[in-house]
Structure 1
Amino acid sequence: MPDIALYQPDIPQNTGTILRMAACLGLSVHLIEPAGFALSDRNLRRAGLDYLDQAAMQRHLDWAAFESWRKAEGRRLLLLTTAAATAYTDFAFESSDILLMGRESAGAPPEVHEAADARLIIPMRPPARSLNIALAAAMVTGEALRQTAQFP
């Protein structure tokens, strides 16, 4: 099944929501630190409810540690970004993909863009710029699961 990765997340409620979704769907979440909040944050717990204990979360000390792990695993990295040209609905997902979300406040830095095997966008009508990261993660994860027939 695809995994979700969060690059230095800023907002605990979004991370909690994504962890809850992942727990319900049986997905793993990779948290690339540093996060902008303590993982014991009550807002994280509130958004994740009682699903956080069921969530498969792997913490990576930093981007280099995550990249080292990912390359050793031979996994494809797909970055969701407003700077992409390929719509997620036009992309062929594989079950071993990692769907990477950038920081809510700043997206992903150039070295993360360069490391991505593909960069995907959720098409929106102007002048809209972006969606909430948890909503974007849910949309793209749903399409990846649909294409790879991985629904629980």
Structure 2
Amino acid sequence: MSLHVVLVHPEIHWNTGNAGRTCLAAGARLHLIEPLGFSLDERQVKRAGLDYWPQVELRVWKTWADFEVTLPRLGDPWFFSTRGRQPFWDAPLAAGEGTVLVFGRETGGLPPALHERYAERFVTLPMSPSPHIRSLNLSTSVGIAVYEVLRQRRVTQP
């Protein structure tokens, strides 16, 4: 079973570095969809991923359209958004041969076209209602989702 994390237009190098470290720890592949809000050559990305960054299984895509061609071969996609229709823990994230977890940019989330095309595949990370918080940090969200997939796989596999 394969696990993929996709960051669409990430803007903050720390989040990408931390997501890469989580992917490495979980045996997942990290996909980045350009444009990126930073250079992957920046030492801050490497610092966020610490000495693990060179071992991260990374693929960078020029556009979502380029990546989307490959998506069916990678597994079942799940899109994370504060506007998701169901809590992520109610979704069968690990039901197929592969799982693809898709996250949007820090300041704007995923593009409206993806919300329309994949509406039934959108999930959310539940939060207590509060006027003081709009969303969780991107790398925190990646970590929560990745480990939920691992938990579901552990429960369903003998």
**TM-score, structure 1 length as denominator?**
0.92
Whether 1:145 aligns to 2:150 is: yes
Partner of 1:118: 121
Partner of 1:66: 67
RMSD: 1.5
In 2, Cα distance between equivalents of 1:115 and 1:45: 34
Q: Determine which of 128, 141, 147 is the counterpart of 1:136.
A: 141
- For 2:110, the aligned partner's letter is A
In 2, Cα distance between equivalents of 1:12 and 1:32: 14
In 1, Cα distance between equivalents of 2:154 and 2:104: 26
- Aligned pair count reads 149
Deviations 1:104-151 (A, max 9, x none): 01111112223435111011111132100100111111111110129x
The runs of 4+ residues in structure 1 deviating greater than 4 Å are: none
Segments of 5+ residues of structure 1 without an aligned counterpart are: none
In 1, Cα distance between equivalents of 2:19 and 2:74: 24
Partner of 2:91: 91
Contact 1:80 1:120 in 2 (8 A): yes
Partner of 1:7: 8
Percent of aligned positions that are identical: 34
3-state SS, counterpart of residue 98 of structure 2: coil
Contact 1:2 1:145 in 2 (8 A): no
